[in-house]
Amino acid sequence: MAQNQEYTLFLGCMIPLRHPQIELASRKSLGALGITLKDAEGFTCCPEPWNFKGAGLESWLTVALRNLAVGEKKGRDMLVLCNGCYATLTEAAHLAACNGEAVKGAMDKLKSLKLSYSGKSSVRHVASVLQDIGVDGISGSVRRPLKGLKVAVHHGCHLLRPSEVMGFDDPFEPSVLEGLVESLGAEVVRYEGYTDCCGNATRDTEASLRIGSEKIAAMKKAGADCIAVVCPACFEQFDLGQVEMKRRLKVDHRLPAFHYCQLLAIAQGEDPESLGLDRHRIDVKPALVKIGK
Amino acid sequence: MLKADPGFKKTLSPVEGAGKLSYCYQCSACVAECPAAHNFNDFNPREIVLASLIGVADYLTAKDSVIWQCTTCYKCYERCPQGTHPVEVINALKNISCAAGNGPEEVTSSRDNVLANGSLISPSEAIEKRRQELGLDKAPVAPAGELKKILE
């Protein structure tokens, strides 16, 4: 089991300011695995890779490279809990290594802040750090296995694709995250379209909800008791989104959603009551009942 | 009648890998798994690449263009046998659309919000109360002034 790993925690916006219960579970569960998360000042929004990147590549890249430069000054790799942060910071680091035109413009702007990014420190997604720790390391921290819980794993697009940049797993047949869920003692259910998008980023609200709803229907058809994600945007689509699906599409799925670190914390023996799960919009109780909580 | 502009493709940002559209041979591999194409009859990544290649893309950079339905799932990027990166062509079109003042209000205001506050989401008393209940420290404050300094 890998121990005494230190990372600078890059929290992003959605987790600390909208879903702090995910932050809490992540701090507790990663701490239990011997991972030290160092808080740091000076970060801004990553910025998110759908709207902001669409609004203007160079300013998106400048803000991203600034965050990377601030992280690099702390002298260690950064850990993110969000696919959006992962995609933006990883792509920005990749573009910096390629040193294209937009990068030169962005780097020039950073000079006025006396900042630069050399590529020495990198950005790690929590799923990838957990992959390094390994299934045995994770199972070693489990006190109450999630036996009897059937989990539908949703990777989220930006963790997997573009695979040549993100480098996490196969873009169409990923299995790493499923292995991490199994290491908690839970059963993974594969469902049709398991690598499909949650639909959050499409502009039309109803289409967005339809995409998410089709995916949840496939999870339920495969027998899932809950959804595991590693991204707060996917989480929001599958949690609050179900409330909207009921209202606008007249579909009442009621399938609880968790960030992987929440399931990890529960399996490590944290009392679900202490994790703020009552703030989820879809009641998590039916999933907890399956594991006798 | 539409007037073709063969020079248009050169205005797509090369840094994102959007400048490789000349390699597209219109096979439609990008369309099969596209969630936006499944939901919108007028959204077709193959056609978007073709229109950009020929330079008849005004309708794509106009207000309320269909390009904003792209979910950025990057399946087209992976499926394309020619490395055309349709999603990056779409991102470049979004950039052109916003630069012309045609971007959706929610997109530009979200960007402006980040530039002004350093964060996508504004801190609030309610969220601080929840953080406190969970035993978490106050949310970190983003140094918004630094972004203003370099981007205004």
The pLDDT of residue A56: 93
Question: From the list A24, A52, A201, which residue is nearest B71 (CB)?
Answer: A201
Mean pLDDT of A18-23: 98
Lowest-pLDDT range of A98-107, A189-198, A260-269, B51-60: A98-107
Mean pLDDT of chain A: 96
Nearest chain A Cα distance for residue B130, angstroms: 8
Task: Say yes or no for a CB contact (<8 Å) between A57 and B95.
Answer: yes
Write out the residue limits of the CATH 1.10.1060.10 domain(s) in chain B. 6-99
Angle at CA of residue B30, ends B24 and B31, nearest 5°? 125
How confident is the model at residue A78, as a pLDDT?
98
What's the pLDDT tens digit per position in A202-249? 999 999 999 999 999 999 999 999 999 999 999 999 999 999 999 999
> In which residue are the tokens 């937009």 written?
A102
Q: Give ipTM to 2 decimals.
A: 0.96
Residue type, A169: D
> Which pLDDT does position A1 carry in this prediction?
46
Minimum-distance CB partner of A100 among B15, B103, B139 = B15
Is B144's Cβ below 8 Å from some Cβ in A?
yes
In whole angstroms, give the CA distance from residue B93 to residue B16.
12
Residues from chain A that touch B127, judged by Cβ atoms under 8 A, are: 17-18, 20
- Most A CBs within 10 Å: which of B84, B98, B105, B146, as the mutation test of the A interface? B146
List Cβ<8 Å contacts ≥24 apart for B48-53.
B48/B86, B48/B89, B48/B90, B48/B93, B49/B21, B49/B24, B49/B84, B49/B86, B49/B89, B50/B24, B50/B26, B52/B8, B52/B9, B52/B12, B52/B21, B52/B89, B52/B93, B53/B9, B53/B21, B53/B22, B53/B24
Contact B151 A59 (CB under 8 A): yes
Report which of A226, A246, A238 is spatially closest to residue A289, judged by C-alpha positions. A226
Of B16, B142, B149, which has the smallest distance from its Cβ to A43's Cβ? B142
* Residue in A246, A237, A235 with CA at minimum distance from that of residue A277: A235
Contact A44 B108 (CB under 8 A): no
- Percent of chain A exceeding pLDDT 90 equals 95
Domains in chain A, ordered, with CATH? Answer: 5-124 (1.20.1050.140), 144-290 (3.40.50.11810)
What is the C-alpha to C-alpha distance for residues A122 and B71, in angstroms, rounded to an integer? 26
Of A17, A42, A207, the CB nearest to B123: A17
Pair of tokens at residue B45: 């990544």
Per-residue model confidence as pLDDT tens digits over A137-166? 999 999 999 999 999 999 999 999 999 999
pLDDT in the model for residue A99: 84
- pLDDT for residue B15: 63
| Amino acid at residue number A164 | E
Partner-chain residue, chosen from B70, B71, B120, that has the shortest CB–CB distance to A45: B120
Distance CA A67, CA A76 (A): 13
* Other residues' Cβ atoms within 10 Å of the Cβ of residue A267: 25
> Are the Cβ atoms of B95 and A56 closer than 8 angstroms?
yes
Pairing mode of beta strands A257-259, A35-38:
unpaired
Residue range A52-61: average pLDDT?
94
B102 touches chain A (CB under 8 A): no
The pLDDT, as a whole number, for residue B144 is 87
Interface touch A56/B147, C-beta < 8 Å: no
Strand blocks (E) in A61-134 = 78-80, 123-125
- pLDDT, residue B151, reads 87
- Level-2 CATH architecture, domain B6-99: Orthogonal Bundle (1.10)
Q: Which residues in chain B are closer than 8 Å to A13, comparing Cβ atoms?
A: 119-121
Q: What is the pLDDT along chain B (152 residues), one digit of tens a residue?
A: 789 999 999 998 766 678 889 999 999 999 999 999 999 999 999 999 999 999 999 999 999 999 999 999 999 999 999 999 999 999 999 999 999 999 999 999 999 999 999 999 999 999 999 999 999 999 999 998 899 888 87
Across the interface, whether the CB atoms of B110 and A63 are under 8 A apart is answered no
Q: pLDDT-based confidence at A2, cuts 50/70/90? A: very low
Residue A243: name the closest of A213, A274, A198 by CA. Answer: A213
Query: Searching chain A, which residue's CA lies closest to the CA of residue B102?
Result: A55
Q: By the 8 A CB rule, do A154 and A260 touch?
A: no
φ, ψ for residue B88, nearest 5 deg: -80, -30
Query: How many pairs of residues across A and B have Cβ atoms under 8 Å apart?
Result: 185
pLDDT of residue A174: 98
Q: How far apart are the first and last CA of chain B?
A: 40
Mean of the pLDDT values across residues A261-281?
A: 97
- Would you call A16 and B133 a contact, using CB atoms and an 8 Å cutoff? no
Note whether A109 contacts B150, CB cutoff 8 Å: yes
Provide the shortest C-alpha distance from residue A213 to chain B (in Å): 13
Q: If DSSP codes are grouped into helix, strand and coil, which group holds residue A79?
A: strand
Sorted by sequence, the CB contacts under 8 Å of residue A167 that are 6+ apart come out as: none
